[in-house]
Amino acid sequence: MRVLFLFFLCLSVVWTQTIDENELFEKSDIITDAPLLTNESFKAFSLTGQIQGEFSYLIPKSRLTNLESSDPNRYLFTIGGDLFLDIRQGKGYKAFVDIAFATSSGGIPFLHRFYDPATDTSTSVTETNTFILQMKEIFIDLPLAHTVYLRLGKQFLKWGTTYFWNPTDLINRERKNLGNLEATREGTWGLKIHIPYKTVANWYTFVDFTDTDTIEHTALASRLEVLLGTTEIGICGWWKKNAIPVYGADLSTRLWGFDIKAEGTISYGDNRPSLKEEIITIGYVPFTNYVAEPISHQWVSRLSFSISRSWDVFDEKERLFTLLEIFHNSQGTNASLFDNPIKLQTALATRAYIPNEYARWYLLFSLGFKKIFVRELSTQMYTLWNIEDESAILQPTLTYAPTSDVTLSAGLSWAIGKPDREYTTTATPLTFSGGVTLRF
């Protein structure tokens, strides 16, 4: 790890020339945005945000299988949003804060993680609150001589190229949510170092301070990306003491109008354990105990591949959008898990189960259509399929945007497939929802 880090650091010395701003922006096919470079003194302060309200009507599984069931349908009303504070002091110096809030008529489950430095272990506890206030991001940007760009604090990083699954992203704890792919996500405490070279290369390094108070136990992730025409290629790695190093690569290009993206990781062993059953006897009574066992001495890979395109329909440009993405987990399994609540909770607590990544094969299909009858009306449909256990989620949504700052939506989420599988284990497989989003 140290050798690779020093190698990239030596490269950064070669790149310490002042970057020509005109050269930086002369190409329009750049995939990765370069930082805005300016010597002008510019100060700005802005407070923006968004507020979302949603009403959900949940239908229990028993009502879908038995029309005479006495189990009541449930409803839930939630309001949440984000406040963004952006302070710019000129020459690239910046501070940013994202404060998220949420309140619900039925309470919101909130996951707390407690870290014990003496044993180097974490414990997760879920608490139900009616109001949640959360600091999702808070960081400071420090540019050094228009060459090295530092970001220190709690920050969300865009790490990975594909749409839904990002196997190379071993930094962000919060995964993407199919119910709201545009939602802000909680950041990670650390230091990001960015060294660009003109418009052809970027080197990113992130020092992760999560769950540690000593330098030797921090995690380190590094990524080098190179732009070749309209194709971007990246290589990356992740290292931490007493953990298995993970190496990855990604690619993003355009071919015949299709956007093609792929990324993957490989490691000898896995930082996610497998869940094993053992029978223990107390007195004369046997009990089943579930133990998380490390995976070692075998190669583990995770890959995702996506292809998407926008289509012109009836003389309207990019009116139809299609996307297909496939995810493969070499360590995936179809072992029984979702019919046993205790086993499922143990798998979640030990990270032996990560939603949408448990099985070997997954597929995501998206179809979007804009300007239905009127310009403000559009629709989007997602299908998320666990191929091996034959369960899926169908999620169509209709949106109406009378202005750029207001969006109304109506949709449903329907879990289908065989019972007690990953997506059908929920007690409320069918949910109707309506919402409004206000931006300011």
Q: Which DSSP helix (H) or strand (E) runs through 379?
A: strand 377-386
Q: Comparing 286 with 73, which gets the higher pLDDT?
A: 73
Q: DSSP character for 16?
A: -
Read out DSSP for 23-83? Answer: HHTS-S--SSPPPP---S---EEEEEEEEEEEEEEEE-HHHHH-TT--PPPEEEEEEEEEE
pLDDT-based confidence at 37, cuts 50/70/90?
Answer: very low
Residue 35 has pLDDT above 50, yes or no: no
Distance CA 168, CA 232 (A): 15
* pLDDT band at residue 181 under the 50/70/90 scheme: confident
Residues 6+ apart with CB under 8 A from 309: 257, 258, 259, 321, 322
Mean pLDDT highest for which of 35-39, 58-62, 318-322, 364-368? 364-368
E strand map for 229-352 = 231-240, 246-255, 258-282, 285-313, 316-329
Comparing 13-17, 367-371, 375-379, 426-430, the range with the smallest average pLDDT is 13-17
Distances from the Cα of 408 to the Cαs of 39, 54, 377, 396, 430, in angstroms? Answer: 42, 10, 10, 14, 21
Domain with 432 in it: 2-439
CA angle (439 as vertex; 435, 440 as ends), nearest 5: 150
Per residue in 288-303, pLDDT tens? 778 888 888 899 999 9
Is residue 129 within 8 Å of residue 161, measured between CB atoms?
Answer: no
Side chain identity at residue 226, one-letter code: V
Q: Output 307 or 63, whichever has higher pLDDT.
A: 307
pLDDT band at residue 259 using 50, 70 and 90 as cut-offs = very high
Quick check: helix, strand or coil at residue 366?
strand
Burial profile 418-428: b = 16 or more Cβ within 10 angstroms, e = fewer: eeebbbbbbeb
Looking at the predicted structure, is the pLDDT value of residue 249 above 90?
Answer: yes
> What's the pLDDT band for 12 if we cut at 50, 70, 90?
very low
For 390, the 3-state DSSP assignment is coil
Residue 4 has pLDDT above 60, yes or no: no
Examine the pLDDT at 180 and tell me if it is beyond 90: no
Residue type (1 letter), 47: L
Under the banding of pLDDT at 50, 70 and 90, the label for residue 132 is: confident
pLDDT > 60? residue 22: no
Which are the contacts of 8, defined by CB distance < 8 A and separation ≥ 6? 203, 205, 222, 224
Token pair 């962000």 is found at 172
Task: Please tell me what DSSP assigns to residue 18.
Answer: P
Report the chain's mean pLDDT, rounded to a whole number: 85
Q: For residue 58, give Cα distances in angstroms to 61, 75, 76, 429.
A: 10, 6, 8, 8
Q: What is the distance between the alpha carbons of residues 143 and 135, in angstroms, rounded to a whole number?
A: 24
pLDDT number for residue 2: 45
The pLDDT assigned to 19 comes to 39
What is the count of structural domains for the chain? 1
Q: What confidence score (pLDDT) does residue 365 get?
A: 98
**In this structure, are residues 352 and 368 in contact, taking their beta carbons and an 8 Å threshold?**
no
Give 11's DSSP letter.
H
User: Which of the residue ranges 61-65, 140-144, 151-155, 261-265 would you say has the lowest mean pLDDT?
Assistant: 61-65
Does position 113 have pLDDT exceeding 60, yes or no?
yes
Q: What is the CATH number of the domain that holds 370?
A: 2.40.160.180
pLDDT per residue as tens digits for the range 304-335: 999 999 999 988 888 999 999 999 999 988 77
From residue 181, give the alpha-carbon distance in Å to each of 38, 164, 177. 33, 8, 5
Task: Report residue 90 CA to chain centroid gap.
Answer: 31
Residue 117, pLDDT above cutoff 90: no
